[in-house]
Amino acid sequence: MDLGIKSKIAMVAAGSKGLGLATAIALAKEGANVSICARGREGLDAAAAEIAKAAPSAKVAAVACNVTQPEQLRAWHDQTVKDLGAVDILVTNTGGPPAGTFSEIDETKWREGIDLTLMNVVRLCQAVIPAMRQRKWGRIVHITSLVAKQPVELLTISSTLRAGLSGLTKTLATQLAPDGITVNALLPGHVLTDRQRHLNEVRAQARGSTAELMQAEQIQHIPAGRFGKPEEIGEAIVFLCSERAAYITGVSLQVDGGVISSTF
């Protein structure tokens, strides 16, 4: 199936590892030119090399950027346009905000979480939407989390803000649909990434257990009987970015192995 995104320009946030890297590779394999960002130069260079190996014909830009800093987000966008061209596809993605129950979280952590998880998404959308509107074509996908629909006690900030991102997704989708721009959210379940390993360690510490036991216990609650693979998330995102998905917008798509119990 031709997904219709050959030579499209894609920005993928936090693209040096995990779900971001898997998404960047999947986009590049479909012929898109990809710009990734992350904080560390070494990780960025390694990721760019991995993308180039997987898709030798793709152009790859790798820009150091702290997504909590507005000026660095603008610099990433400007460098992408300079190196590759106007952005057709935006995939927002961040590490999760600080974990903890409500009583363990102070206002500083709330503000850090808002900048990390919400405001970078708002700022990146503000950067790319004007050019998308001019061309009457665009794809925006927000990588969020299953906690947008099924909150987790230990992930108070994330559960709050991810649900908010689903609201932003629906609102933007309605406003941008007349311009040929789709906006969707992708809600991963338990995928074995660095973030998942960190959360298992936090749970283990809280319960006086081990990360390995926490991981085994978690698998018991996944109907599919396993953790997801990063490439399974990336490939679902690529479809949402494709020409074939032009009539799908405003959706918070669960890719979770059946974990989310809600029907909505």
Q: Report the alpha-carbon distance of residue 31 to residue 25 in Å, rounded.
A: 10
Residue 263 has pLDDT above 90, yes or no: no
Predicted pLDDT at 107: 95
Q: pLDDT tens digits, residue range 85-111?
A: 999 999 999 878 888 999 999 999 999
Predicted pLDDT at 71: 97
Residue ranges covered by each domain of the chain: 9-189+229-255, 192-227
If one counts every other C-beta atom within 10 angstroms of the C-beta of residue 177, the result is: 14
Q: Lowest-pLDDT range, 193-197, 237-241, 260-264?
A: 193-197
Which pLDDT band, with edges at 50, 70 and 90, does 9 fall under? very high
**Identity of residue 203:** R
Predicted pLDDT at 119: 96
Q: What is the pTM (predicted TM-score) of this model?
A: 0.93
Which pLDDT band, with edges at 50, 70 and 90, does 180 fall under? very high
Q: Is 20 in a helix, a strand, or coil? A: helix
Select, from the ranges 130-139, 184-193, 202-211, the one with the highest average predicted confidence (pLDDT): 130-139
Determine the average pLDDT of the residues in 183-199. Answer: 86
Entry field: residues in the chain:
264
Which pLDDT band, with edges at 50, 70 and 90, does 52 fall under? very high
If one counts every other C-beta atom within 10 angstroms of the C-beta of residue 11, the result is: 27
Determine the average pLDDT of the residues in 76-90. Answer: 98
Predicted pLDDT at 98: 86
If one counts every other C-beta atom within 10 angstroms of the C-beta of residue 135, the result is: 12
User: Can you name the CATH fold of 9-189+229-255?
Assistant: Rossmann fold (3.40.50)
Q: pLDDT tens digits, residue range 210-249?
A: 878 888 888 888 999 999 999 999 999 999 999 999 999 9
Q: What is the mean pLDDT of the chain?
A: 94
Sign (positive/negative) of CA torsion 97, 103, 104, 109?
Answer: positive
Q: Who contacts 142 (Cβ-Cβ below 8 Å, separation ≥6)?
A: 91, 92, 93, 121, 165, 168, 169, 183, 184, 185, 186
Residue 202 has pLDDT above 90, yes or no: no
Residue 169 has pLDDT above 90, yes or no: yes
